[in-house]
Each structure stands twice: as C-alpha cells, then as structure tokens.
Structure 1
C-alpha cells in the first residue's frame, strides 16, 4: 500500500478537491462533481508502479536532521514531497496534486470525526477586510501596505473531552455602600460567604492538539457546531492542509481540566446575584465518566506582513468567526485619550463651580 494518495478526476485527470459549498468533491478544471462515497471507493484502489533503482553516492541526512522529517513520492508526477513528521495532507509542489499522506492516519492516529469546511477562501479574504473596518486605533497605512503572504485552509487536530463534573465552589460576595459628608467620603463593604454545589455534564470540550497552533488563537474562534461532524474520511482533506497531532491526549488533560474548572466556576457564579462583586474563594471539582475522542476541525489561516512584522489571523471554517491581533497607532491612541481627559476635566471643573 502506498504511503500517499492523491485524488484525480476520473473525467479529465485533474486534481480534485473538497468543495465547501456543495459538500462534494469537485474538479476545478472540468467542473465534474463526485459524492464522498464515490471517492471513498476509489481510495481502496492501489496503483502499481515499476520499480527503477538508481545508483547514487550522495551524503545522507544525519539522524538529528532527519529525525523530524518525512519523505513521500507523488504518485501523479513522481516528485518528492518532503514535510515535517506531523504533516498529513498537502499539495505536491511540482504538479499541484492534492495528496493525503495515509501513513499518518493508521492505527491510533486516525481521527474519529471531522467537521468539513463550510466557508471558502474568498469568504476568509472578505472577513479580513471586515476585521480591519472601524478600528479607531489601527494605523492608516496598515490597510494599504499590509498584504496577505499566505492563506490556507487547515484541518486542526483537537482532542474532545467528555465528562461529568461534581463541584463544590465557595464564593466571596461583597455589597458596597458609599456616602460622604462635608469632610469625608465613606465606604462600607459587607462580605458574604456563598456556597454552590452540583453536577455539570460536559460534551466534546476541544483542546488543540498541535503545537504549531497557538491555543489562545484556536480557542478564540470557538465554538464549533458538532452537529455538522461526520465520521472521518480522507476525501474531506483533499485541497486543504492537515496536521497530525503532536500533543497527545494525556498531555492535553491538564488544559481540559482547567477549562472544565473555569466553566463550572463561571456557571455557578452566574447564580450568585444581587451583589456588587463576586469572587471565587475555593473550589473542588471531581470528574467521572470521562472519555476522549480525536477530531479534525476546519480553520482558515491568513498570514500577513506589515513593516517587517508578521501577523496571523484565524477564521472558523464552519461558522466564519474571525480573530487576530492588530497593530496600535500609539499617537492616535494618546491623542484620543488626551481629548477625553480634557473633556472630563472640563466637566469636573464645571461641576465644582456649580457646587460652590
């Protein structure tokens, strides 16, 4: 069995890819479409090639250099596809064929579920334009000089944690009363100890399983709608980049526990009402009936450059939620707050004058 598989159009031989609009495989050359089941039947077919041995006398990679790399041969053109050891789907740099490196999905590496892309590349580009609109402190030249270096649709590996959380959380609640006389201002703080206990069921808490993807960036584009998830099939990867996890489930448990604890504390806190301030004093959370699944979720990644600095933006490939940090125009920032300061000072002075 080959280590690599490409998806070719049966009609014209062009490289076909998954189309997020039709949810079918589509050829960009002849516009032919095929459903996933048809392509799945093609997956099982093996190509036979003649073995040609060449006598070579080249230097070999050292063990240290080769340790993080993998080499695959493109079955369409014979070109060598070199990637790091976590890459599982890509394009041949020579003929452009969409290929799936099947060796990365054998055994326990095979995902349980995948959420197919629902939004295409053009929508991601438009989302970036929308993200830049209305930003008061964004440098004016950023829109004009900033350009997209690379845009790619990536299936990001996620561990999905399921559990029941039994929790006992204590909160410190405060009621604050202030008053003043001609000489002093007074503040009275009344403190209460509030206890909340109960159980919360969690389903499919996502934890990013790829070190290449910043956790805060991936969590910012949540949530995903699991109703669109389907059983994993390699055909969905055609035309997109896919990464194999390099943070395993055991290594992701700590982050899952933090997310469960924070969610429980926030959920219970919302029931402590009628107070000015509420803090977590202590919490004990125990988990049971826990399980974990492996899934691939769709993400559009946009990489841009402005004044020599790199910026990365991410968009949820299912819902369209868009996030990314932007540069700050410091002069505009300080100018704005100087104006606000002058206005506030004027109002305060006017108030004092009226009081006297």
Structure 2
C-alpha cells in the first residue's frame, strides 16, 4: 500500500486538499491553489537539503626560534588577568583594557609566534586628536572624559587576530511571493503567486578576522574594521617597540565558531541579494559546505582608552591603520539637569515677556 503524502500550504501552513473542480491542491483556510507537480518538486528540494559542513585546519602561527623572545617582557593585570607583552624599552604600568595596574611577571616565552603584523600608521598624537574631536562640543559629558591627563593615557596595542580562509559551496531554497492588484470597476482583486526559488554557488573567503583576546570585545574590534591586509608584513619583534601587544587567550580552534557565524551570515546575505523580482521572499532552508579552511595568526594595531563612570566601563578604540574611531559616551545627569532647568527658565521668561506684550 503506497504512502499517502500530505502537503502543507506554502502560504499559510494549512493542510492542502485536492479540489477536483480545478484539478489542483487547494487550501481550505486561505483558498490558495497549487499544482501537484510543483508541490512535489518543492518537497523534493526540501528533502535534499543537508546539514552544514564547516571543518577547519587551524595550524596557525609558528614556534619561536632561539633568541627571538630575548628582551621581551610580560606584564599581568591584577584585575582582569590580561597578559601584555612589550619589548625591553617599553614599560607598562596600566592595563589597556581595564586601566588597572599591571605588574611585570617575567620574561616572555612560549605560545605561538604571529605569522603577520600590520604596523601602526597613526601615532599617539593622531589618536589623541581623534579622541578630542570625538569629545568636541559634548557639553553634558562627565569631566573625567575631557581631562587631558586622562586622554594622555590612550595606548597603542597590537590585538591578536586569527584570520580564516575558506571556499564555501552553498545551496539555498527560498519561498518567493508575487502580489498583483487590479480592479474591474466593481471589485478590487488581489492575486498572490508563490514560487520555489533555489540558488547554488561558490564563495571564496579570505582573511576573515576573529579577535583572539577575551579582553577586547568582539563587537568593538569588528566595529573598527576593515583592516587592509596589503600592509601586513612578516612578523618581527621590532614592530613591538613603543607599543604593547596582547597575548592571545582564545585559540584558533576556539575561534572557529565565531568565524563560522561570520562566514555563514555573509554567505546568506550574498545569496539573498540574487533573489530579485519578487514582492517578498524568505529563506526556507539551506546548507553550507566549507573546504580548504585554514587559519593565520596576525597582530592588528589598535589605539585604546578605557574609562569608568558610575560603575560602567566605556572603551574608545581607533584603528591604528585607517584611523576609524568608535566609542560610546555617557551623560552627566547633574549637568543635564542644570541644562534642562536652564532651558526651562529661559522658555518661561520668554512666555512671561509675550504675556506682558499681549496685555
């Protein structure tokens, strides 16, 4: 005995029934009509979808050679536990992430050597100028943010970044809808047509960055992207002179989930951009297969300033290569109250003046 196949209405999800009058499957709820063969093809397309396959080879970085770490020191933050690397000519007194004191815990050794580094293009003077411009005209900003001595504490930090390359093959299935309206003078009509839209293709990803430090917020690091890898050079310790370097505490393997999310989201956006000519559409299902997945280890230049205000932490960051600047700002409530009452008093005075003129 053959299996009875039940079809769901693509429009509303209701159970479809065969209508002998029109020789089509018809929904008793929204009255949509569908050709049986089209429904069969659509269900077969749904049934052939597979799970995502995203596998990586993550042997990024290299071992340090004898003598390469000579003169490099490591500082440990007493508060957040962050480990900062410097050369012998650069002292660190405060953590660039939480602004708390750091203590030197010895000479640096171990871990992986970065493959690449993008050197700083903007110096501290440029970073301070960008921060001052960001604060310019903010009358309700707490005084601590404007303090010049505080602004002087902005620090240049090389942030550890894992860079992922991969070839992606994707298969996406969408449900498209076209809506047509017309009138014959007596009635207004609306026709809704539904389509099964399939897209297959390949996308090549190169240098997808994932921040390798738990102290540096992923969202903050991504907000100052992009970094231009054309300026990257083979890593040498000389580039650390005068700057701090964060020691990674998120491995390449631990960064895979973030890399997969970024690759998957971008792939879905690229494929969705090819679905044109429909009033609306939505993705029904899809899968992504990843091949030739490899990782590299690099250091990216960032200027950082941290400030605390009323128990909240505020971080400013500038891309040390492009100068892109981001940072949230608080409002001094007492200053805001004075400003508001000052405006209110001014408005009241104007109103009294108008009343006097009317009399």
Sort the TM-score into its range (normalised by shorter chain).
0.5 to 0.7
Alignment-derived partner of residue 25 in structure 1: none
The CA deviation at 1:186 is 9.4
The separation in 2 between residues aligned to 1:179 and 1:140, in whole angstroms, is 57
The CA deviation at 1:193 is 3.0
Alignment-derived partner of residue 89 in structure 1: 86
Alignment-derived partner of residue 231 in structure 2: 228
Aligned CA RMSD, in angstroms, stands at 4.0
Structure 1 residue 170 corresponds to structure 2 residue 167: no
The CA deviation at 1:194 is 1.9
The separation in 2 between residues aligned to 1:200 and 1:187, in whole angstroms, is 39
The CA deviation at 1:174 is 3.9
Q: Which of 318, 323, 336 in structure 1 is aligned with 2:321? A: 318
The CA deviation at 1:127 is 2.1
Q: Judge conservation of contact 1:167–1:197 (CA < 8 Å) in 2.
A: yes
The separation in 2 between residues aligned to 1:207 and 1:112, in whole angstroms, is 15
Alignment-derived partner of residue 108 in structure 2: 103
In the superposition, relative to structure 1, how do residues 188 and 132 fare at CA in structure 2: closer, same or farther (>3 Å)?
farther
Alignment-derived partner of residue 140 in structure 1: 139
Q: Which of 303, 306, 330 in structure 2 is aligned with 1:300? A: 303
What's the TM-score, normalizing by structure 2?
Answer: 0.59
Alignment-derived partner of residue 209 in structure 1: 212
How many residue pairs align between the two structures?
A: 250
Larger radius of gyration, structure 1 or 2?
2
The CA deviation at 1:117 is 0.4
The CA deviation at 1:270 is 1.3
Alignment-derived partner of residue 274 in structure 2: 271
The separation in 2 between residues aligned to 1:46 and 1:221, in whole angstroms, is 32
Q: Secondary structure at the match of 1:146?
A: helix
The CA deviation at 1:309 is 3.8
Q: Which of 153, 156, 162 in structure 2 is aligned with 1:153? A: 156
What's the TM-score, normalizing by structure 1?
Answer: 0.59
In the superposition, relative to structure 1, how do residues 109 and 142 fare at CA in structure 2: closer, same or farther (>3 Å)?
same
Q: Secondary structure at the match of 1:258?
A: helix
Note the residue ranges of structure 1 that are not aligned, 5 or more in a row: 1-42, 48-70, 74-80, 336-356
The separation in 2 between residues aligned to 1:146 and 1:291, in whole angstroms, is 42
The separation in 2 between residues aligned to 1:177 and 1:132, in whole angstroms, is 52
* 1:111-166 per-position Cα deviation (integer Å, ceiling 9, x unaligned): 000000011122222223443568xxxx7311766236331111000011111001
Q: Judge conservation of contact 2:179–2:192 (CA < 8 Å) in 1.
A: yes
In the superposition, relative to structure 1, how do residues 304 and 329 fare at CA in structure 2: closer, same or farther (>3 Å)?
closer
The separation in 1 between residues aligned to 2:276 and 2:324, in whole angstroms, is 31
